[in-house]
Structure 1
Amino acid sequence: MISDSPKKTLDEIKKLTDDSDVGLVLVSDDMTESISDELTELRAEKSTLVFALPSAGSEKSEVDYRLMLKKILGV
């Protein structure tokens, strides 16, 4: 699917994670920057893996998995 805004991307991800036939959702990281908190909440609720891939030509960025886990656990 192609989405032109982070809000639409989040809506599409929510639809996909509600589908029991979907186990993995790959998203360009330039669409996930502004919706990262919502994605973290979604990851805590759903079993579908939502993974942000680097967009073409983007720089490598560090992912703080410890912080993400704390958000998921509510610590």
Structure 2
Amino acid sequence: PGGRFYFIEHVAAPPDTSLRLWQDRLTPVWRGLSGGCRLNRETWTSLEAAGFGKLRYDYFRMQDFPGILSPHIIGIATKLP
């Protein structure tokens, strides 16, 4: 109880964008080359489903990263008693 999980993670681009389309197309090859990493993973859905008492995260694009890797989230998940 009260433990915190700090995270920063590259994630899927917003749906219906050209970047997301490319992430979806490249994910099968990318997974094989990167040990299972998925370009189009919606990590926030797993965090929301994990049952943390408090979850806060922000979406942003990481500067100087290749386009398909630029979408990120950063945040804190707290386990409440």
TM-score (norm 2): 0.27
Higher strand share: 2
If you compute each CA radius of gyration, which structure gives the higher value, 1 or 2?
A: 2
Higher helix share: 1
TM-score (norm 1): 0.28
